[in-house]
């Protein structure tokens, strides 16, 4: 694994882990003036979103290869990914921006298809695209297309109702569903099968053939998360994208300063994904997902929230996979055979360019 002092940018710098974080911290955060009073959750808190003037603000660039893949395309991904980043903060996604960068020579029919997919997914999520920008670069200066979507969101009654329910059961600061909100005893709900997105793209790209049965799970999750909030008792939520479930759980554990124990037998994984991962030597817990989230709930409300999530199409395979606990440090998984395995933050991206 390359170190910070290496002279060239490597794929690991894009793996969403520590390496780029250090660069950003060194060069930007250390030099920026103290943030203004409008910034309630600045970048230095290192969540995917920031809260400014009571508006949640997030951004993501999408470089998936290929731009059409089994179960979706870069347009559906760009809308879903940013809607989901907003949604896991507990807010109502209000609007998205759309920044297209296109390679000269790309067939217009493909651009139309992507734009159509963007509109369809925005309608599905019921979040409008309100501002945009398009750039074209000469042939060879880009691999087909890159999309950036940024998004803004605001607090809304389902979040307020949810917080009220949380407070009936334990002390809670309120506000957003921060990564630091997990406490010992909270139950962790995973909303469905993991690994589908990464395996589908890798398999399609490399021609392994698994993609005939495994499709990307890419979809907006705001409606499902709204249902969970309406049930009440949710304290935190994360979307296990880059770095997969391993990365998400470790971020949670670190920011909430709490141990996490999960049961391997409870983690929903399709048989096809499991066997593909075994063949390819990839840990399914480290693969990025684009239509799943993991939700922390006060224990008294875990069954009610699970039921609400399972009542949705996108959450029907949801399961309680574990809990926050004082009994372990970091993230630990009890395996099928009853042993314990430490789950670490993945060092790099097992599969590049899946988002």
DSSP string, 175-223: SS--GGG--TT-EEEE-S--SHHHHHHHHHHHT-SGGGT--------HH
CB atoms within 10 A of CB 181: 24
Q: Cβ of residue 218: shortest distance to its own copies, in angstroms?
A: 17
Kindly identify the residues of this chain, within the stretch 148-187, that bind its own copies according to CB under 8 A. Answer: 148, 150, 152, 154
Kindly identify the residues of this chain, within the stretch 12-31, that bind its own copies according to CB under 8 A. Answer: 12-16, 20, 23-24, 26-28, 31
- Residue count, binding to its own copies (CB under 8 A): 88
Helices 74-87, 222-231: crossing angle, 10 deg rounding: 20
Kindly identify the residues of this chain, within the stretch 72-91, that bind its own copies according to CB under 8 A. Answer: none
Calpha distance 148→151 (Å, rounded): 10
353 lines the binding site for its own copies (CB under 8 A): yes
Kindly identify the residues of this chain, within the stretch 87-126, that bind its own copies according to CB under 8 A. Answer: 94-95, 97-109, 111-112, 115-116, 118-120, 122-123, 126
Residues in the chain: 355
Whether residue 244 contacts residue 288, with contact meaning beta carbons closer than 8 Å, is answered with: yes
Give the contact letters, 290-329, x = binds to its own copies (CB under 8 A), - = no: ----------------------------------------
330 lines the binding site for its own copies (CB under 8 A): no
Q: Which helix (H) or strand (E) holds 319?
A: strand 319-325
Calpha distance 8→62 (Å, rounded): 22
Nearer to its own copies, 183 or 197 (CB): 197
- Out of 1, 133, 212, 342, point to the residue binding its own copies (CB under 8 A): 133
- Out of 175, 185, 268, 352, point to the residue binding its own copies (CB under 8 A): 352
> Across the strands, what pairs with 146?
101
Give the contact letters, 38-57, x = binds to its own copies (CB under 8 A), - = no: xx-xxx----xxx-xx-x-x
């Amino acid at each position: 694994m390359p170190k910070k002092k290496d002279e060239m940018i490597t794929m690991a710098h894009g793996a969403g882990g520590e390496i780029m974080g250090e660069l950003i911290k060194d060069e930007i955060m250390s030099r920026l003036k103290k943030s203004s009073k409008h910034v309630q959750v600045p970048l230095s808190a290192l969540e995917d979103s920031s809260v400014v003037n009571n508006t949640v603000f997030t951004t993501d660039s999408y470089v998936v290869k290929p731009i059409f893949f089994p179960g979706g395309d870069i347009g559906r991904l760009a809308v879903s990914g940013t809607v989901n980043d907003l949604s896991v903060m507990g807010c109502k996604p209000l609007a998205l921006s759309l920044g297209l960068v296109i390679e000269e020579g790309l067939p217009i029919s493909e651009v139309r298809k992507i734009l159509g997919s963007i509109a369809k997914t925005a309608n599905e999520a019921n979040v409008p695209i309100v501002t945009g920008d398009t750039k074209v670069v000469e042939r060879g200066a880009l691999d087909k297309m890159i999309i950036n979507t940024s998004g803004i969101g605001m607090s809304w009654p389902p979040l307020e109702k949810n917080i009220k329910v949380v407070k009936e059961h334990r002390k809670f600061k309120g506000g957003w569903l921060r990564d630091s909100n997990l406490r010992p005893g909270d139950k962790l709900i995973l909303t469905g099968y993991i690994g589908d997105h990464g395996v589908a793209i890798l398999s399609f790209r490399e021609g392994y053939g698994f993609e005939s049965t495994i499709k990307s799970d890419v979809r907006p999750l705001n409606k499902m998360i709204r249902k969970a909030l309406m049930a009440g008792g949710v304290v935190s939520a994360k979307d296990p994208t880059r770095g997969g479930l391993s990365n998400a759980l470790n971020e949670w554990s670190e920011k909430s300063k709490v141990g996490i124990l999960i049961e391997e037998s409870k983690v929903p994984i399709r048989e096809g994904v499991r066997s593909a991962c075994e063949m390819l030597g990839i840990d399914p817990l480290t693969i990025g997902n684009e239509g799943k989230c993991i939700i922390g709930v006060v224990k008294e409300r875990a069954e009610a929230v699970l039921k609400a999530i399972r009542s949705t199409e996108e959450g029907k395979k949801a399961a309680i996979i574990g809990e926050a606990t004082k009994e372990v440090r970091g993230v630990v998984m009890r395996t099928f055979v009853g042993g314990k395995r430490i789950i670490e933050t993945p060092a790099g991206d097992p599969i590049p360019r899946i988002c």
